[in-house]
Amino acid sequence: MKLRKVTAASAAVLALAATATACGGDKDGGGSAGGGEKISIGIKFDQPGIGQKTPQGYSGFDVDVATYVAKKLGYGADRIEWKESKSADRETMLQRGDVDFITASYSITPEREDKVDFAGPYLLAHQDVLIRADDTSIKSPSDLNKKKLCSVTSSTSAQNVHDKLAPKAQLQEYPTYSACLTGVQNKAIDALTTDDSILAGYASQAQFKGKFKLGGLKMTNENYGIGVKKGSDLKAKINKALEAMVSDGSWQKAVDKNFGPAGYRNEPAPKIGDVKS
């Protein structure tokens, strides 16, 4: 796996290293955390409130969750190596051992579980819409059929709109959520649609304060999990860390800090292994 080993000083340690090499070495993604110099974690770099790279560092709910988990695994914040994990690259990054785990608005799906393992879930999100604060015309999913919607090109959210949620809507697919948001702000678009957690992150930005609101439609269930390589023993350790984060109040503090300014009414912390369909 990606965890870097300290210098071996005994035959016992060398034997363990040999065993790890037989299973794929430092990049196998299936070993135990806590003994290396660094831990490599995949996050989004471009989602405010979720995972964002800024001149000041990294911020967002996923960053806070990953930092907490890493600490429980024996890694302080200064020993984390952050890597950008775009949606299309996540399974490949885990399979190659580019990262130890991924916390990047990573919805648990049967298709993905064929390729990687998931700890969690640690957040239950829902597909929703972000609309202008003064818009009172969208009160149910059926209202979307008369609207101009926007989502990211080839996203699950866009496909959901097209297939079942609002097949009669005028759907625009833009390269980024930011481009969609500009369209909503300029009234070229009626609503941006994706996970409510992502929408809350954008709405919470200082420059957008009071300009947008979430529709609260809860059209789908999106169970966010922490991805690890198939068969990794990190899954059980991360699950214990997530349980601790909920029990000591750190989870709710992270939700309030990152999503609170948007008035995001989050679901209670999900139980480990409880994936809502």
Whether the Cβ atoms of residue 43 and residue 85 lie closer than 8 Å to each other: yes
Q: What is the mean pLDDT of the chain?
A: 87
Q: What is the CA radius of gyration of the chain?
A: 20
Looking at the chain, the whole-number percentage of residues with pLDDT higher than 90 is 71
The pLDDT of 76-90, averaged and rounded, is 94
Residue 4 pLDDT class (50, 70, 90 cuts): very low
Residue 35 pLDDT class (50, 70, 90 cuts): low
CA-closest candidate to residue 130, choices 183, 192, 70, 223 = 192
Cα–Cα distances in angstroms (integers) from residue 196 to residues 204, 234, 267, in the given order: 12, 28, 11
According to the model, what pLDDT value does residue 170 have? Answer: 96
Residue 33: pLDDT over 60: no
Greater confidence (32 vs 137) lies with 137
The pLDDT of 78-91, averaged and rounded, is 94
**119-161 pLDDT, tens digit each:** 999 999 999 999 999 999 999 999 999 999 999 887 889 889 9
According to the model, what pLDDT value does residue 29 have? Answer: 40
To the nearest 10°, report the CA torsion of 198, 266, 241, 275: -90
All structural domains of the chain: 11-124+223-262 (3.40.190.10), 127-214 (3.40.190.10)
Residue 20: pLDDT over 50: no
Residue 228 pLDDT class (50, 70, 90 cuts): very high
